[in-house]
Amino acid sequence: MNHSLKIIGVDPGLAKTGLGIIEITNDNSLKLIDWELIETESCEDLPKRLLKIYNKTLSFIERNSPQECGIEEIFFSKNAKSAFLVGQARGTTIVAISKKNIPIYEYTPIQVKQAICGYGRGEKEQLRYIVEKILNLNSETKSTRAQEHKSTSQQEKGNFIASGPLDSQHLACKVNSKSLTTTSKTTNFKYISPHVIDALSIAICHANSRKMQNLINK
């Protein structure tokens, strides 16, 4: 790519919505720009919860000015009520993003895991590990972010540069559940929400897609 591109990833949910923005830089590397976790309380009325998601999403977008969006494609659930509520939250984020005329691209969970882990049935722990490696979220970075978290009142933000090109399949081969469990228990930092990790993974998935399109178009 001969110009940078900011991508927002969205992991929609009524109780927790994860937002994450990465940038494909001029040298084709990835830069983590910002992230946020939107939380609503079950004791609140549904309209108020949706309004909070809308306002927080819109504010996040206005603060970071992403150019494209990747969002998890809606899926059918055995729990119809739960799926209905998630669908409403998802629609709310789509309205907020569309208000800023940002193109939206949908990806299934299998597509995201395929792009990040190298196959569509990757485990959540593996997905987290690879996302952190791609975006260079090492232990020192996470500890710093934990201190920032205390002063930003439940908002999680970042500004770090990836250390190299995407190599998801190579990383996937080096991951095993035992080492991941040990790392998560012994590293002293504020644990990044799985919803934020999922949002960042969707953004990386879209970045992979854009990079491939650019290679084809050359």
Domain boundaries, the chain: 5-217
**pLDDT recorded at residue 156:** 41
Query: What one-letter code names the amino acid at 213?
Result: Q
Which of 87, 15, 12 is CA-nearest to residue 57? 12
Give me the tens of pLDDT residue by residue for the chain, a chain 218 residues long: 557 899 999 999 999 999 999 999 888 889 999 999 999 999 999 999 999 999 999 999 999 999 999 999 877 667 788 888 999 999 999 999 999 999 999 999 999 999 888 877 778 888 999 999 999 876 444 434 434 443 343 444 443 333 333 444 444 433 433 333 223 322 333 468 999 999 999 999 999 998 887 767 76
**pLDDT recorded at residue 218:** 67
Q: What phi and psi, each to the nearest 5 degrees, are found at residue 152?
A: -115, 10
149 membership: H or E segment, kind and range: helix 139-151
- As given in the structure block, the two tokens for residue 34 are 């910002």
> 157 in the Ramachandran plot: left (φ > 0), alpha (ψ -120 to 50) or beta?
beta
**pLDDT recorded at residue 13:** 95
Superfamily of domain 5-217: Ribonuclease H-like superfamily/Ribonuclease H (3.30.420.10)
SS3 of 198, please? helix
**pLDDT recorded at residue 144:** 41
What is the rounded distance in angstroms from the CA atom of residue 119 to the CA atom of residue 16? Answer: 26
**pLDDT recorded at residue 48:** 97
